[in-house]
Amino acid sequence: MRGLFRQSLGVEQSPQSHQSPISELLAVRRQKLQALRDLGVDPFGGAFETSGTVAEVRDGFSEGRVVTLAGRITAYRDMGKSRFLDLSDIGGRMQVYVNSKEVDETSLAVAAQLDIGDFIGVEGECFTTRTGEPSVKVLRLVILSKSLRPLPDKWHGVQDAETRYRQRYLDLIANPSSRDIFRQRSAIVREIRRYLDDRGFLEVETPMMQAIPGGAAAEPFKTHHNALGMDFFLRIAPELYLKRLLVAGFPKVFELNRSFRNEGISRRHNPEFTMLEAYCAFADFKQMSVLVEELICHLAVMLGNADHQVHHRDGEGNVTRTINLSRPWKRASYNDLIEEAVPGWFGLDKAGKILRCAELKLDISHCPEEFEMTQHVFEKLVEEKTIDPCFVTHVPKELVPLARLNNADPSKVDVYELIINGQEISPGYSELNDPDLQRERLEHQAGEEQQKIDTEFLDALEYGMPPAGGIGIGIDRLVMLLTGAESIREVILFPHLKQRIQSAGNHAAADDATLRGAGSNT
């Protein structure tokens, strides 16, 4: 196969050749680049007016219609006096036919120097081949960008995870499933905006650089503003600014925001992530849970899950897990779920809890407080084992200092944590609007680091904030849920990775990973 690929590109086969396959491929493309320039053709042309995208031209296909079309060559079949090419973009594919009798000499000469991966523009007439394929008979052809590196194997795509994440453009070119995920992500975000707008929520923007990061307990990224001579932090959450807008009189607000946390990277965590936060005056956490339940079910149906069953599949397409989103969703208290997982837990003293965790093989060395031990038990024995949706309600007040205390049990707060597929998808609160109690709880959380308290937010609360319900939804995790992706890196276009040490060996390895099997493209 590799030999056939070289032959099709015009590379001389020589048993004495010491050039690597990738070097030969690159050399041939460089030769074609020069050949185009020798013809007086710019291999990196300018604008080209089209009749629409590839998908739009194909959808509007009619016999005899004259169209202009541009795209990347993803298939190339040379039959001597005629050539069939596939032009593609992220939305679709269209076959074009180049016949030596139909095009001018320059177009024909350019066609002879084309490779898979090149961008071209064509003008031609729509027709249907004998096999029933909608096609364009080319009358004029121009090259718009010469590809100097071969594309990955179109049949196997880019399989290496490192390459897929680091060179996402190759992943999107070669893997239709990756393109589908990001088109679905765009549709999800667009529909969330429409859904909230239809219900009277106003979309707003709040600062991404904050003098005091608040709204969550997390390690922030730090930067410095030269003109102001002060440090700033990339926000860990927009919550405290959105609540200022409730004080100002905005009854319903939301923000689809980028937030940043200088913490670990895992299958579920990226230091830069997208989050929805929304607040509704005069509501509570119960009403907000209904909003979230309806929204996620609506999104699932929009993506084609009319039966509210979301199937997660392995690399072979086999169903590995089915998540049932049928309503109504389960609601259960934090304490009840832990007692169900570890009977008698809340009857144990601290020493008893430590002993019980040892029996359960749970590492609580990082949990000095009892509520932290309990939370670790929850995460390992409840959260990670919960697949179908469950609103976990009334968690310990120490975990959520910005939520309203429960009237019946002040050790708990009126919140929910929505767990689906073993991870938190959305928290929701009845928001705390008592400025004195809020100050007390933030001071307790800050301990000796009182400078971390946003006193301007507390000042705003003293002007009066209405009772309100608030929600957060991790958009990346939501997309994972609805598309069946198993890693957050699958749903973020450019996830953060360790910097690769640059060397000739690394370049060669990357070339091999992206070009392996490229012969089937030709």
Summarize pLDDT for 127-138 with one digit per residue, the tens.
999 999 999 999
Residue 1, pLDDT score: 31
Edge-to-edge strand list for the sheet holding 330-333: 202-203, 252-260, 272-281, 468-474, 423-430, 415-420, 390-393, 330-333
463 vs 1, more confident: 463
Q: 501 φ, ψ to 5°?
A: -70, 125
What's the pTM value of the predicted model, to 2 decimals? 0.88
Return d(Cα 312, Cα 307) in angstroms, integer.
15
- pLDDT at residue 236 above 90? yes
Name the band, by pLDDT with cuts 50, 70 and 90, for residue 19.
low
Residue 377, SS3 per DSSP = helix
Instruction: Please report the beta strands in 421-474, taking only residues with DSSP state E, as ranges in sequence order.
Output: 423-430, 468-474
Summarize pLDDT for 163-201 with one digit per residue, the tens.
889 999 999 998 888 999 999 999 999 999 999 999 999
- The domains of the chain are located at 2-151, 171-329+388-490, 330-387
Average the pLDDT over 466-483 and give the result: 97
Average the pLDDT over 473-502 and give the result: 91
Residue 156, pLDDT score: 58
- Reported as type and span, the H/E element at residue 59 is helix 54-59
Summarize pLDDT for 65-106 with one digit per residue, the tens.
999 999 999 999 988 888 999 999 988 999 999 999 999 999
Residue 8, pLDDT score: 34
CATH fold of 171-329+388-490 reads BirA Bifunctional Protein; domain 2 (3.30.930)
Determine whether domain 2-151 maps to CATH 3.40.50.720: no
Q: 380 φ, ψ to 5°?
A: -85, -40
Percent of the chain past pLDDT 70, that is, above it, reads 90
Name the band, by pLDDT with cuts 50, 70 and 90, for residue 215.
confident
| The two structure tokens encoding residue 7 | 């032959």
| The two structure tokens encoding residue 441 | 């709880």
Residue 15, pLDDT score: 42
Q: Determine the straight-line distance between the first and last CA of the chain, rounded to whole angstroms.
A: 10
508 vs 500, more confident: 500
Residue 416, pLDDT score: 98
